[in-house]
Amino acid sequence: MKVISLLLIIVILFSCSPNPYSATNKIYKKQARIFAKILSSTPTDSIWADSLKRPSHNANTTNFGMRKPNMVIIHFTAQNSCEQTLQTFTKPATQVSAHYVICKDGMLQHILNDYLRAWHAGVAKWGNNNDINSTSIGVEIDNNGMDSFSTAQLNTLYGVLAFLKKEYNIPTANFIGHSDVAPTRKPDPGILFPWKSLSAKGYGNWYADTTGKVIPVDFNTLYALKIIGYDLKDLPAVYRAFRMHFLGYKNDAELTETEKKILYMLMQQYL
Ligand SMILES: [Zn+2]
């Protein structure tokens, strides 16, 4: 009987592989509890200054919800494996994270609650929004920046995007890339990312056929890029980001007449 019990213990020990992230999962829980405490506290006192008149009785509303993400930023990890990325995102010293990681075989890791703020966009701007992390979901795709994206990954991505779009009512135009919101710093998700296919499924805008179209003589390319959302601080970087997303190649020269026509058609989606 003793031998059988011993064998049973050995079998159990070897069949349950320990979670290599159990220590960092504990840190996650602890951090989430701190935020839960902040959320459950009544409004902050920090607004009060001598010039503001305080009420004799505080009143808290009964009518509220959670703030929701309104954009999805797509990245490639620029790393060599999903495991490497998960390790990066679970080391406090790196100060980087995302909400979702999609591995090459299509496996999905949901590493942060969608209502919390991931550190994925960094210094970034889209339209007048200069706090992209506060308003977006970060989706990282395991890709070293040179390989094409696997069918399994893209199928998982479509599933994630369908969920996010429906759950948070995210506008079609607000599915964009890291290079769009940080054109001077970031190249991802890169020229191999299939933006046109995404757009056909309702994630991101695309342009209509330009055949036979004539652009107005007063068409202003900078105005069009601004309307779409680009931060025009560094124009060569913006031309490069626009080309990477909508034309599938990199070049930071001024736009050609053909490219301007595409930009003009694309702008129509934003008006
Ligand atoms: Zn990125």
Q: Say whether both 103 and 78 belong to one domain.
A: yes
- Establish if 102 belongs to a structural domain: yes
Spacing, Cα 170 to ligand 1 middle (Å): 20
Spacing, Cα 201 to ligand 1 middle (Å): 22
Mean pLDDT on 189-201: 98
Specify the residue for token string 């930071």.
252
Give the mean pLDDT of the chain: 94
Asked whether the predicted pLDDT for residue 219 surpasses 70, the reply is: yes
pLDDT digits (tens, 9 = 90+) for 19-78: 999 999 999 999 999 999 989 988 767 777 878 888 888 889 999 999 999 999 999 999
Asked whether the predicted pLDDT for residue 14 surpasses 60, the reply is: no
Asked whether the predicted pLDDT for residue 12 surpasses 60, the reply is: no
Q: Give the domain range for residue 253.
A: 207-271
Confidence band for 209, pLDDT divided at 50, 70 and 90: very high
Q: What is the pLDDT of residue 9?
A: 61
Asked if residue 234 lies in contact with residue 183, where contact means CB atoms within 8 angstroms, the answer is yes
Q: Is the peptide bond before 189 cis (omega within 30 degrees of 0)?
A: yes
Spacing, Cα 258 to ligand 1 middle (Å): 29
Q: What is the pLDDT of residue 266?
A: 98
Q: Say whether both 234 and 158 belong to one domain.
A: no
Which of 200, 221, 251 is a domain's end point?
200
Is residue 140 part of the annotated active site? The answer reads: yes
Mean pLDDT on 155-184: 98
Asked if residue 161 lies in contact with residue 72, where contact means CB atoms within 8 angstroms, the answer is yes
Number of structural domains the chain divides into = 2
Q: Say whether both 195 and 72 belong to one domain.
A: yes
Q: Say whether both 151 and 211 belong to one domain.
A: no
Mean pLDDT on 92-121: 98
Asked whether the predicted pLDDT for residue 8 surpasses 70, the reply is: no
Asked whether the predicted pLDDT for residue 11 surpasses 60, the reply is: no
Spacing, Cα 19 to ligand 1 middle (Å): 27
Asked whether the predicted pLDDT for residue 260 surpasses 80, the reply is: yes
Asked whether the predicted pLDDT for residue 233 surpasses 90, the reply is: yes
Q: Say whether both 230 and 264 belong to one domain.
A: yes
Q: Say whether both 224 and 196 belong to one domain.
A: no
Spacing, Cα 212 to ligand 1 middle (Å): 37
Asked whether the predicted pLDDT for residue 189 surpasses 70, the reply is: yes
Q: Say whether both 160 and 252 belong to one domain.
A: no
Q: Say whether both 72 and 136 belong to one domain.
A: yes
Q: How much of the chain exceeds pLDDT 70, in percent?
A: 94
Cross-strand partners of 72: 137, 175
Q: For residue 125, give the nearest of 185, 181, 174, 180 by alpha carbon.
A: 181
Confidence band for 236, pLDDT divided at 50, 70 and 90: very high
Asked if residue 106 lies in contact with residue 155, where contact means CB atoms within 8 angstroms, the answer is yes
Q: Say whether both 218 and 170 belong to one domain.
A: no
Spacing, Cα 207 to ligand 1 middle (Å): 24
Asked whether the predicted pLDDT for residue 146 surpasses 60, the reply is: yes
Mean pLDDT on 73-99: 97
Query: Catalytic: which of 140, 167, 257, 259?
Result: 140
Q: Say whether both 258 and 178 belong to one domain.
A: no
